[in-house]
Amino acid sequence: MSSGNEMTYTAKNGGVHDVLGVGLGPFNLSLACLMAPLTELDVVFLEQKSEFTWHEGMMIPGTTLQTNFIADLVTLVDPTSKFSYLNYCKQQGKIYQCYFHENFYLTRQEYNRYCRWAARQLENVHYCRQVTAITFDNKRECYVITATDLLSKCEHVYCARRLVVGVGSTPCLPDCVDETYQSVHSSMYLEKKSRLQQARRITVIGSGQSGAEIYYDLLRDMDHCMYELYWITRSSHFFQMETGKFALELFTPDYANHFYSLDNEIKSDVLGYQSSLFKGINASLIAKIYDELAQKSQSEVARTYLYSNLKLTQCNRLDSQTELILDHCQTSGRYRFMSDEVVFATGYDYRIPAFMQGIVDRLRLHDGRYRQNENYAVDMVGNQVFIQNAGLESHGVTNPDLGMNCYRNARIINAIAQREVYYVDCNTTFQAFSPEGNDQFLRLIDQ
């Protein structure tokens, strides 16, 4: 290994990798596992962390995934893969416990353990490598990736014909929250929990799954802590995630293809009324929260309060407290509310990483966002630069869904290999999303 700031070119025989993946979250980990059998391809992944970790700030004991364990890293496209969750259970000596448990939904902690097990089997992941720049070498017709070794501080340069960027999304705070404000985003919850519980009043902003998990965790601890607990959302109510079987058919290859084919204006409208498919709270957690509230209401004076229809418009730190200005979404009311601590469970947003600026002239962009093709590629040439989890506008609700991980990566791998490495399922739903192809429907003039 080089020392100081010496540049090191890393590839087989000093050559060019076929594929380089940036980041190793669940999406690129799935890609790495599915590409492992393809020995004809030279593939490498760079991850800035020292090992695989996933949402460590939200590893609240007992919290579960919202997708079935069958939708693991590999099974939906390769049920025979050694990286499946069932093989993990077998190798860990707990296949019978899994069988008897009769529960399709893994805890976050168990899913993280499974992913770490899979990652440890991969020999082509370089940890502690932070990508700082990517350029294109026209002479060699390849991408040049510069990465810093966070341990030795050396710089390494990799060359690759194709890129798959899976660096994940960035915690999102309301526009009114100043960047200098020492806010607590849900992604940091466990790290900040002990500090939060020293406060007299804690407020959770946001009513998605993360907000509900944090509220429930704090609610259960109220028996031995003396804080007041508020839960505030701008939504009209604390709503349940839609999990009916026909609704789940929207998380399929068929629906992904249908949504991709729609006009952009229609896509925006459709996404507007699909929030209950991916932003709500799972039914079991709602039941637990309601039961806990019912139990506490019988034994003590209420110290917890839930408010819907309140939109945060201002947030100011005043000495040891935070001033929240809240507008009611259905009336003209405006309210001032003080809280000692505020947890923002306000989701995530995708931002184009700074290291992509060196190749931005080769990418398809619109209004500062990637324009992905059907195979999740964003480069103008086609099928050279793929982006994970950045195509909600193009592919709809299937894009960020953990359960569609295998499908997305099968499309990416087939595009890279220029052959059908993995069969992509079709006719996966009982309902059809368009009558096209059925000659019993005679198409008339468009509306």
What is the predicted pLDDT for the residue at 8? Answer: 60
Q: What is the pLDDT of residues 220-239, one digit of tens each?
A: 999 889 999 999 999 999 99
Cα of first residue to Cα of last residue in the chain, in angstroms, is: 65
What is the predicted pLDDT for the residue at 275? Answer: 86
Q: Is 323 a member of any domain?
A: yes
pLDDT band at 3 (very low <50, low <70, confident <90, very high): very low
pLDDT over 90, % of the chain? 85
pLDDT over 70, % of the chain? 96
Of 33, 29, 25, nearest in space to 80 by CA: 33
Q: Is 284 a member of any domain?
A: yes
Q: Is 313 a member of any domain?
A: yes
Q: Please indicate, yes or no, whether residues 47 and 132 belong to a single structural domain of this protein.
A: yes
> β-pairing, 7-10 with 155-165?
parallel
pLDDT band at 6 (very low <50, low <70, confident <90, very high): low
Last residue of a domain, one of 348, 370, 386: 348
Last residue of a domain, one of 313, 328, 348: 348
Q: Please indicate, yes or no, whether residues 89 and 222 belong to a single structural domain of this protein.
A: no
Q: What is the pLDDT of residues 286-332, one digit of tens each?
A: 999 999 999 988 876 679 999 999 999 999 988 889 999 999 999 98
| Mean pLDDT, the chain, whole residue set | 93
Coil, helix or strand at residue 213: helix
pLDDT band at 176 (very low <50, low <70, confident <90, very high): very high
Question: Does residue 12 carry a pLDDT above 90?
Answer: no
Q: Please indicate, yes or no, whether residues 190 and 140 belong to a single structural domain of this protein.
A: no
pLDDT band at 368 (very low <50, low <70, confident <90, very high): confident
Neighbours of 168 (CB within 10 A): 18
Q: Please indicate, yes or no, whether residues 128 and 194 belong to a single structural domain of this protein.
A: no
Q: Please indicate, yes or no, whether residues 54 and 186 belong to a single structural domain of this protein.
A: no
Q: Please indicate, yes or no, whether residues 69 and 188 belong to a single structural domain of this protein.
A: no
Q: Is 200 a member of any domain?
A: yes
pLDDT band at 204 (very low <50, low <70, confident <90, very high): very high
Q: Exposure of 10 by Cβ count < 10 A (0-12 exposed, 13-18 middle, 19+ buried)?
A: middle
Q: Please indicate, yes or no, whether residues 286 and 413 belong to a single structural domain of this protein.
A: no
Q: Please indicate, yes or no, whether residues 310 and 354 belong to a single structural domain of this protein.
A: no
Q: Is 125 a member of any domain?
A: yes
pTM over 0.85: yes
Averaged pLDDT, 253-274: 94
Question: Does residue 413 carry a pLDDT above 70?
Answer: yes
What is the predicted pLDDT for the residue at 414? Answer: 98
At residue 45, what is the residue type?
F
Provide Rg for the chain, Cα atoms.
24
CA distance linking residue 191 with residue 58, whole number of Å: 9
Contacts of 444 (CB under 8 A, 6+ apart): none
Q: Please indicate, yes or no, whether residues 304 and 226 belong to a single structural domain of this protein.
A: yes
Q: Please indicate, yes or no, whether residues 219 and 189 belong to a single structural domain of this protein.
A: yes
Last residue of a domain, one of 300, 328, 348: 348
Averaged pLDDT, 156-174: 95
Question: Does residue 24 carry a pLDDT above 70?
Answer: yes
Q: Is 91 a member of any domain?
A: yes
Q: Is 272 a member of any domain?
A: no
Coil, helix or strand at residue 143: strand
State the residue range of the domain holding 131: 7-169+350-417
Q: What is the pLDDT of residues 37-86, one digit of tens each?
A: 999 999 999 999 999 999 999 999 999 999 999 999 999 999 999 999 99
Count: domains in the chain: 2
pLDDT band at 1 (very low <50, low <70, confident <90, very high): very low
CA distance linking residue 212 with residue 280, whole number of Å: 9
What is the predicted pLDDT for the residue at 2? Answer: 41
Q: Please indicate, yes or no, whether residues 26 and 164 belong to a single structural domain of this protein.
A: yes
Between these two residues, 38 and 181, which has the higher pLDDT value?
38
Q: Please indicate, yes or no, whether residues 141 and 236 belong to a single structural domain of this protein.
A: no
Of 399, 360, 412, nearest in space to 169 by CA: 399
Q: Is 197 a member of any domain?
A: yes
Q: What is the CATH number of the domain that holds 187?
A: 3.50.50.60
